[in-house]
Amino acid sequence: MSSLRFNAVQEAFKKKALVVSAPEKFTSDYYGKYVFNSTAMAKYLSKDTLKALKNVINKGAILDVALANQIASGMKLWATELGATHYTHWFQPLTDGTAEKHDSFIDYVGGPGEEIIEDFSGKLLVQQEPDASSFPNGGIRSTFEARGYTAWDPSSPAFVVDDTLVIPTIFFSYTGEALDLKAPLKKALAAVDAAATAVCQLFDPKVKKVNAFLGWEQEYFLVDESLYATRPDLALTGRTLLGHESAKNQQLEDHYFGAVPSRVAAYMKDIEFEAYKYGIPAKTRHNEVAPNQFELAPIYGECNLAVDQNLLMMSIMKKVARRHGFRLLLHEKPFAGVNGSGKHNNWSLGTDTGVVLYAPGKTAEENLQFIAFITTTLMAVHKHNALLKASIMTAQNAHRLGANEAPPAIISAFLGTQLTAVLDKLENSTSEEAILIDDKKKLNLNIPHIPEVFLDNTDRNRTSPFAFTGNRFEFRAVGSSANCSSAMTALNSAVAAQLIEFKAEVDAKMAAGATKEKAIFDVIKSYIKASKAIRFDGNGYSDEWKVEAAKRGLDCETSAPEIVKAYTSPSSVELFTKLGVLTEKELESRNEVKWETYVKWIQIEARVLGDLTLNHIIPVATRYQSLLLDNVSKIKAAFPADKAESLNKLNSQLIVEIAERIAVIKNAVDDMVDTRRQVNKLDHEYDKAVAYHDKVLPYFDIIRYNVDKLELIVDDEMWTLPKYRELLFIR
Ligand code: ADP
Ligand code: MG
């Protein structure tokens, strides 16, 4: 074995699980200790300040300077007691992940050279101007006026990481355009709140606010860091660009829910301790389907906060992995041939009166409301299926979707047999038959036992990208490394717009003399009919579905750069502009950024692939070929000609195969470089992205196929790159 690889494997094998113990005996003793939550606020803010802040958070009251100063001083005291010396505005630029710039609390008491104090004013809390000219913005800010501002989001509590007070913020340009993913999400959440509240009030006038809930399930891979260090593709691109499948991978399905390896168990404990410190309610941990693949899922919470917590969690997971001698892979498809990673977004809406609107109720009235929300959501997903797909599409996630293990690259909704039966029955019933008002003036859907029947919704369909799971929808197409904001902005906007339409249609029918129940029922019925094409409970992986989905008019595009275009389709532009979530200009510039990012990723991967093949694969294969050639001449020298020829048959075949494969690889790499040179000259990001997808990407497969074949025949001792069987099995 090449010494580099040999040492790495040895090192990985020797590592033992760390011993980790909880900071306190009970989780509740330290839960949220590093978050400026209600408990901390109550302790560090005066009653009046707290009341005023609550008004800002819950009712959107204006935050004035005096109030900001009071909050900032309480927050600073709290943070310094936890060891903070610095603060940062934490924001979510258009390239996933988060950005932060740290400043110290120190300031001169008076002028320069005077004594120093720790200071944190309301002004610093509320707004900052990071030097952010190099964040991607798709041309919204020309560089000479590259001013971006961050503004505090009081609805997501500040927290302390190490020595820094972290303040969640939105990021926007001098001219007011959003430059981040949080600002549009917050607008979409406000839109869905208003729209859903109006619909809820048809049923219960006491409802004053509707929250969107998000429960994410974070899938991830762990790789030993010694092995990771010897795989430049993993280190630079987050995925293996080469590598033959291991003889054993996930065939036996022995990893899913299996016993967690002890090193990983220690890691899981550790990230949970960290999660609890930050008030992230980590609940579920288990092995996933692929070897070395795992999952962490917290209890769901308010969408904006859940998104922030996911971002924080991803960075905690990365950091803690190092402590355990691991590297965390959040890439959607780090290994070919085994499952990729997603981040299921469990989503629902719930009222301030405690009703989850996607859970069947106990009364017929509650169930009518439930069905209203289900059908409105189906309508929204049907109308905007192309947009929803665009909202989760990246160069990375493209490898995962449609790969026969993740959701297919067509958005459809799974309802399960019971809910399907309910909708079918409603669709085919006449209003007279279906609407029976009983003596308590309650609407009866004439479908007995609805609550009992499908409260326990156990039927699952893993192939569906958007599945109803009992009290929520599960948007499964979201990628593991993604910021959930994109998907949540699209989904909440689409549903908000449809709820507005629903309410308007019901109002119109009532104005024309229909009873409220009949009006609602009729709109529901029309929605069931109109959104039928989005419902699909069958096998999403099958070829028949692709044909069928196209017939139904669903978006079947598979090229990532094309999929992204759905953001600027007339229906998407209308959706976002009407709700005030994003302007057309913002949508266009966001797409520019997406195409640019797409191109950069494929470009980086192509370079790494070229380097690896030229510096690792071809030299090693050639060296092995020389050994074989040497052997051939020695046999020729030792045996009579005809005997030598028969003895050399196998060697000769190998020599030829190696020569041929090397030639194919070398040619493909050269052609790929040429192609890149040509397409780099294209002017528009969109054209470039399409060209990278159509013209550059296909070389990856040719190169990989031949390299992986070489891996099978070249002497294992010479092969420099750790193989899948070494990367994928933590012991
Ligand atoms: P599974 O793997 O079976 O889908 P998990 O338990 O891993 O389920 O994750 C389910 C996620 O859905 C959890 O985060 C859970 O808190 C969340 N969840 C449950 N009910 C709702 C709801 N009404 N709205 C949003 N998320 C929910
Ligand atoms: Mg799930």
Do 403 and 269 reside in the same domain of the chain?
A: yes
More confident residue, 228 or 119: 228
Q: What is the 3-state secondary structure (H, E, C) of 50-109?
A: HHHHHHHHHHCCCCCHHHHHHHHHHHHHHHHHCCCCEEEEEECECCCCCEEEEEECEEEC
Q: How many CB atoms lie within 10 A of CB 145?
A: 10
Give the other-Cβ count within 10 Å of 649's Cβ: 10
Q: How confident is the model at residue 660, as a pLDDT?
A: 98
CA of 299 to the centre of ligand 1 (A): 7
Percentage of residues in the chain having pLDDT higher than 90: 76
Mean pLDDT of the chain: 91
Asked if 413 and 481 sit in the same domain, the reply is: yes
Flag the least confident range among 139-148, 644-653, 698-707: 139-148
CATH code for position 92: 3.10.20.70
- Same-domain pairing of 514 and 623: no
The residue ranking higher by pLDDT, 194 or 289, is 194
> How high is the pLDDT of residue 132?
61
Between 95 and 674, whose confidence is greater? 674
Distance of alpha carbon 436 from alpha carbon 434, whole angstroms: 6
Condensed to tens digits (0 to 9), the pLDDT of residues 61-88 reads 888 999 999 999 999 999 999 999 999 9
In a domain, 529, yes or no: yes
Confidence of residue 425 (pLDDT cuts 50, 70, 90): confident
- Strand pairing of 86-91 and 106-108? unpaired
Residue 581 pLDDT more than 80? Answer: yes
Reduced to 3 states (helix: H, G, I; strand: E, B; else coil), residue 180 is strand
Residue nearest to ligand 1 atom 19, measured at CA = 300
β partners of residue 296: 218, 285
CATH code for position 703: 1.20.120.1560
Regarding the beta carbon of 360 and ligand 1, being less than 6 Å apart is answered no
Q: What is the pLDDT of residue 439?
A: 42
Quote the pLDDT of residue 320. 98
The larger pLDDT score, comparing residue 241 to residue 541, is at: 241
Q: What is the DSSP string of 547-566?
A: HHHHHTT------HHHHHGG
323-332, 412-421, 476-485: segment of lowest average pLDDT: 412-421
Residue 213 in contact with ligand 1 by CB distance below 6 A: yes
- From 214, 217, 268, the mutation candidate for ligand 1 (largest count of ligand atoms within 8 A of CB) is 217
Q: Can you spell out the DSSP letters for 153-178?
A: -TTS--EEETTEEEEEEEEEETTS-B
Q: Give the atom of ligand 1 at the shortest distance from the alpha carbon of 215.
A: 14
pLDDT at 474 over 80: yes
205 and 117 in one domain?
no
Position with higher pLDDT, 431 vs 71 = 71
Residue 46 to residue 73: CA distance in whole angstroms? 11
Element (H, E) at 636: helix 618-638
Answer whether residue 149 shows pLDDT above 70: yes
- Tell me: do 58 and 120 sit in the same domain: yes
Last residue of a domain, one of 147, 180, 213: 180
> Is the model's pLDDT at 143 over the cut of 80?
no
Residues 627 and 127: their CA atoms lie apart, in Å, by 67
- Domain end marker among 597, 629, 660: 597
* Helix or strand (DSSP H, E) at 533: none
Q: How far apart are the first and last CA of the chain?
A: 20
Min mean pLDDT across 56-60, 433-437, 483-487, 695-699 is at 433-437
SS (H, E, C) 196-240: HHHHHHHHCCCCCCEEEEEEEEEEEEEEEHHHHHCCHHHHHHCCC
Q: For residue 616, how many other CB atoms are within 10 A of its CB?
A: 18
Q: Look at residue 22 and tell me if it is in a domain.
A: no
Residues 137 and 280 in one domain: no
Across residues 84-94, what is the average pLDDT?
95
Lookup: tokens for 726: 């070494």
Extract the tokens encoding 449. Answer: 């036992």
92 plus 209 within the same structural domain: no
Share of the chain above pLDDT 70, in %: 92
Residue 5 domain flag: no
Question: Would the pLDDT of 552 be above 80?
Answer: yes
**CATH number for the domain harbouring residue 308:** 3.30.590.10
- CA 471 / ligand 1 centre spacing (Å): 9
Same domain? For 612 and 558 the reply is no
> Residue 145: what pLDDT?
58
Q: Within this chain, do residues 486 and 531 fall inside the same structural domain, yes or no?
A: yes
Residue 407: what pLDDT?
Answer: 73
Taking residues 702-729, report their average pLDDT. 95
Same domain, 335 and 351: yes
Among protein residues, the one with the nearest Cα to ligand 1's atom 1 is: 217
Q: What is the pTM of this model?
A: 0.95
Task: Determine the average pLDDT of the residues in 6-26.
Answer: 92
Q: Place 141 in a pLDDT band, splitting at 50, 70 and 90.
A: low
Residue with tokens 């410190």: 277
Window from 44-48, 55-59, 122-126 with minimum mean pLDDT: 55-59
Q: Environment class of residue 685 by beta-carbon count within 10 Å: exposed (0-12), middle (13-18) or buried (19+)?
A: buried
Q: For residues 203 and 54, state if they share a domain.
A: no
**Residue 6 is assigned to a structural domain of this protein:** no
Higher pLDDT, 352 or 1: 352
The DSSP bridge pattern shows strands 413-414 and 466-468 to be parallel
Candidate of 300, 343, 491, 492 to mutate for ligand 1, largest count of ligand atoms within 8 Å of Cβ: 300
Whether residue 2 lies inside any domain: the answer is no
CA of 300 to the centre of ligand 2 (A): 12
In a shared domain, residues 167 and 306: no
- State the total domains in the chain: 3
Q: Region 517-534: what's the mean pLDDT?
A: 95
- Strands 301-302 vs 443-444: parallel, antiparallel or unpaired: unpaired
Which of the four pLDDT bands, split at 50, 70 and 90, describes residue 51? very high
pLDDT at 252: 63
pLDDT confidence of residue 20: 93
CB 337 within 8 A of CB 249: yes
In a domain, 514, yes or no: yes
Higher pLDDT, 431 or 68: 68
How many residues comprise the chain? 731
Radius of gyration of the chain (CA): 29
> Is there a domain that residue 408 lies in?
yes
Q: Quick check: 552 and 533 in contact, CB under 8 A?
A: yes
In a domain, 55, yes or no: yes
The whole-number average pLDDT for the span 155-166 is: 96
300 in contact with ligand 1, CB cutoff 6 A: yes
> Phi and psi (nearest 5°) for 559?
-85, 120
pLDDT at residue 361 in the model: 80
Asked which of 597, 626, 648 is the last residue of a domain, the reply is 597
**Cα 346 to ligand 2 centroid, rounded to whole Å:** 7
Q: Are 320 and 270 in contact (CB under 8 A)?
A: yes
Provide the domain limits for residue 83: 31-180
Closest by CA position to 435, among listed 365, 338, 512: 365
| Residue-level pLDDT at 133 | 64
The DSSP line for 475-489 is: E---BTTS-THHHHH
